[in-house]
Amino acid sequence: MFISFEGIEGSGKSTTLNSLCAALADEGISFVRTNEPGGSAIGRALRPLLLDRDQQLAQLAELFGFLADRAQHVSAVIRPALEIGDVVISDRYADSTIAYQGYGWGMDINMLNWLNQTVTGGLAPDLTILFDLEVEDGLRRVFSRNADRAGQTTEERFEAEPIDFHRRVREGYLKLAEMHPQRFRLVDASLPQEMVYGQITDILAERCSIYLS
Ligand code: TYD
């Protein structure tokens, strides 16, 4: 079972993933938690460059950075884990490229689909959970988090993009969810954390027969 988590900046994926993974461990379910960019060794090396707000990366350089990470991530981490029957939970995957580079930057979606298909060997998640909320609410959370850790990170490049960019990314995600209704489930990420978590446990019970408290 391969599950991806997607959403705009500040949608609260990481916090919910912490609770989810703790619950999976309590149930004795064997799982791998991973993320993009950074799920592979090459991705971990590229991540600071890809996300550094002070880098002037050419769009294609950025795109191929995400794709290089994904190719390695699939072959070295995701496929081997699925082969031994682990549940794989990835914080972002191929839909991020369609939402950010495609809908956000305006790169050709057909080209991106083809590239995603090529680097993943056609491996799509069984389930994609989309954390949806208003862009303004997400960015408000991000800015208050960044203020708390001022000076500790420069990985804020996407967060610093204008609000219209984030609106296009959100719209892109919603279109993807509409195009793939079998694979996508939406959660209302504007709700308090316990309620978001409750939505996730309901989805996992319904879609994956995984029952968590
Ligand atoms: P990260 O710090 O992991 O943020 P988040 O907590 O929001 O997931 O940053 C990942 C950033 O990289 C995020 O802004 C989205 C962007 N991204 C792309 O633009 N394209 C991609 O293919 C991927 C995987 C991520």
What pTM, to 2 d.p., does this model score? Answer: 0.95
Task: Give the count of beta carbons closer than 10 Å to the beta carbon of residue 2.
Answer: 21
Looking at residue 16, its pLDDT comes to 95
**Can you tell me which atom of ligand 1 is nearest the CA of 159?**
14
pLDDT of residue 188: 98
| CA Rg value for the chain | 16
What whole-number distance in Å separates Cα of residue 13 and Cα of residue 20?
10
- Kindly give the distance from the C-alpha atom of residue 213 to the centroid of ligand 1, in angstroms, as a whole number: 29
pLDDT, residue 205, reads: 96
- Whole-number Cα distances in Å, 201 to 24, 192, 196, 204, 212: 11, 15, 9, 5, 6
Using a 6 Å cutoff on CB, does residue 126 contact ligand 1?
no
**158: Cβ below 6 Å to ligand 1?**
yes
CA of 54 to the centre of ligand 1 (A): 16
Q: In angstroms, how far is CA 128 from the centroid of its own chain?
A: 9
103 lines ligand 1 (CB under 6 A): no
Whether residue 171 contacts residue 101, with contact meaning beta carbons closer than 8 Å, is answered with: no
pLDDT (0 to 100) of residue 36: 98
Cβ contact 203:191 at 8 Å? no
Q: Are β-strands 184-188 and 127-132 bridged in parallel, bridged antiparallel, or unpaired?
A: parallel
Phi, psi dihedral angles at 23 (to 5 degrees): -70, -40
d(CA 1, CA 126): 6
Tens of each residue's pLDDT in the chain, 213 residues: 999 999 999 999 999 999 999 999 999 999 999 999 999 999 999 999 999 888 889 999 999 999 999 999 999 999 999 999 999 999 999 999 999 999 999 999 999 999 999 999 999 999 999 999 999 999 999 888 877 776 666 667 788 889 999 999 999 999 999 999 999 999 999 999 999 999 999 999 999 999 998
pLDDT at 154: 62
Task: Give the model's pLDDT for residue 213.
Answer: 81
Contact 64 CB / ligand 1 (< 6 Å): no
**Cβ atoms < 10 Å from Cβ of 207:** 16
Ligand 1 center to residue 97 CA distance, Å?
9
